[in-house]
Amino acid sequence: MHELGIIVHITKTLQSVAKENHLNEIGSVTLEVGEVSSIVPDYLTDCWAYYRKKFPLIEKAEMKIEILPAVTYCEACGKTYPTVQYGRQCPHCGSWDTYLAAGDECNIREIEAC
């Protein structure tokens, strides 16, 4: 389960942001999680519920997760398409000369202070 490692990293980032901005408590954090990131949102939520209890800064903080769609770009025709629906082969021109343009990320989008 790599979700706990992600939560540890997010917590360190939140601590750093709180220190830089003189915050004593964080009310919520919003994450953007890519559709094909291999992160399981329910596991992430469970790890957050467990790990936040160890830090007064975030022990009451809510974690919100927004799922970002996976998008593939085709080098041959220059079009994008939904990765999960069509896979690696471009549905527009049939080319395999494609790459994942979005959908494998995990970002902190917003931090709300109390």
* 114 labeled part of a ligand binding site: no
CATH architecture, range 3-69+103-113: 2-Layer Sandwich (3.30)
Q: Are strands 106-113 and 62-68 parallel, antiparallel or unpaired?
A: unpaired
Residue 114: pLDDT band with limits 50, 70, 90: confident
Average per-residue pLDDT in the chain? 97
CA distance 65 to 56: 21
* 22 labeled part of a ligand binding site: no
Bigger pLDDT: 25 or 2? 25
Question: CA triplet 18, 12, 69: central angle to 5 degrees?
Answer: 100
Q: What is the pLDDT of residue 53?
A: 96
pLDDT at 1 over 70: no
Q: What is the pLDDT of residue 55?
A: 96
* 106 labeled part of a ligand binding site: no
Largest CA distance in the chain: 54
* 93 labeled part of a ligand binding site: yes
pLDDT in tens, 33-84: 999 999 999 999 999 999 999 999 999 999 999 999 999 999 999 999 999 9
Half-sphere exposure of 22 (CA within 13 A, CB side): 0
Radius of gyration of the chain (CA): 18
